């Protein structure tokens, strides 16, 4: 594996009770890259992450993570990975400092007091160091969890929906911390449902029913979708949406605030379908670049229902 590559896996598969959860997972992630996993619940994001960090052994496939084999050298991978789960898993009746000191003891961190103090300052927890973890807001709990995840100086962070349930400012601050860690050379894999977070990733992959449907930079994913999108504002938009649904060339009609996004995969056919409505004086139409959310809605639609 190149020294510039943190993860390089091919054809990873995993099944539970005869049901295939991940199929042919193939991806390459550079060192210092923030790579996002997106997809609906049950799409295989968490299982994929756990295979990459050595917590699950793939049924098939091969590859390396941090220069270790993902099947035969899982113990070595685990020692160099920081894994942050969806649920806050630290002790709520211990203070911020006590929680971090406890985690540092588990990892056998040298110079424990200095390392804990540095983590507290790096994540902006200094004025809360003696506050009980159970009294922290969701955003501050996430910062504490991230501090604990990085105490042993991991080379790879695996973050499983780390900002679920926290407010927008806390999410923004959390992502600033993630980018600072990536700038220090730490590779980050993160699963999320939020489109604004997906756009903050260097590259991303969209999973559905265990398969990667698309991957690349956010701009490349949008460009490769072949979607054509129009934005319409005006009166009685929900009635208009019902009329447009199902017309030839119209793949999706989605409300966005006081507008509708109308998209299709064939630009000419979509324009032909919309032409009769574009002459109406009560409607204003603008051609727009499809958003990442437009693309993912289309991917969900194309994926259809989960196979039995």
pLDDT at 239: 93
Residue 301 forms part of a structural domain: no
pLDDT at 196: 84
pLDDT at 242: 94
Same domain for 218 and 233? no
pTM above 0.75, yes or no: yes
pLDDT at residue 280 is higher than 50: yes
Same domain for 215 and 175? yes
Residue 297 forms part of a structural domain: no
pLDDT at 55: 86
User: What does the mean pLDDT of the chain come to?
Assistant: 90
Query: 92-148, pLDDT tens digit by residue?
Result: 999 999 999 999 999 999 999 999 999 999 889 999 999 999 999 888 998 999 999
Q: Select from 187, 206, 222 the last residue of a domain.
A: 222
Average pLDDT of the residues in 149-154: 93
Same domain for 94 and 188? yes
Same domain for 236 and 209? no
Same domain for 204 and 246? no
Q: CATH number of the domain at 277, please.
A: 3.30.70.920
Range of the domain at 124: 5-222
Same domain for 196 and 108? yes
Q: Select from 177, 193, 222 the last residue of a domain.
A: 222
Question: Cα–Cα distance between 142 and 277 in angstroms, integer?
Answer: 48
Domain count, the chain: 2
């Amino acid at each position: 594996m190149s020294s510039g590559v943190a993860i390089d896996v091919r054809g990873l598969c995993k099944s539970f009770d005869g049901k295939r959860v991940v199929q042919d997972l193939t991806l390459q992630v550079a060192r210092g890259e923030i790579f996002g996993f997106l997809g609906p619940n049950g799409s295989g994001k968490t299982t994929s992450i756990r295979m990459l960090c050595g917590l699950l052994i793939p049924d098939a496939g091969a590859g390396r993570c941090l220069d270790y084999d993902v099947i035969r050298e899982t113990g070595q991978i685990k020692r160099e990975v920081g894994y942050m789960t969806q649920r806050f898993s630290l002790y709520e009746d211990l203070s911020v400092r006590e929680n971090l000191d406890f985690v540092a003891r588990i990892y056998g961190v040298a110079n424990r007091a200095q390392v804990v103090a540095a983590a507290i300052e790096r994540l902006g927890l200094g004025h809360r160091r003696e506050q009980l973890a159970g009294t922290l807001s969701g955003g501050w709990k996430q910062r504490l969890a991230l501090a604990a995840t990085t105490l042993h100086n991991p080379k790879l962070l695996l973050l499983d929906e780390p900002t679920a349930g926290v407010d927008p400012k806390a999410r923004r601050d959390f992502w600033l911390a993630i980018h600072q860690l990536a700038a220090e050379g730490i590779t980050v894999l993160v699963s999320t449902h939020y489109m604004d977070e997906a756009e903050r990733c260097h590259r991303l992959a969209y999973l559905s029913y265990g398969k990667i449907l698309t991957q690349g930079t956010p701009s490349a994913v949008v460009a490769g979708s072949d979607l054509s999108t129009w934005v319409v504002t005006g009166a009685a938009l929900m009635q208009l949406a019902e009329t447009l649904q199902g017309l030839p060339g119209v793949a999706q009609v989605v409300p966005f605030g006081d507008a509708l996004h109308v998209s299709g995969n064939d630009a000419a056919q979509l324009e032909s379908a919309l032409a009769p409505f574009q002459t109406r004086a009560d409607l204003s139409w603008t051609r727009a670049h499809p958003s990442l959310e437009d693309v993912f809605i289309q991917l969900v639609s194309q994926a259809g229902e989960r196979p039995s």
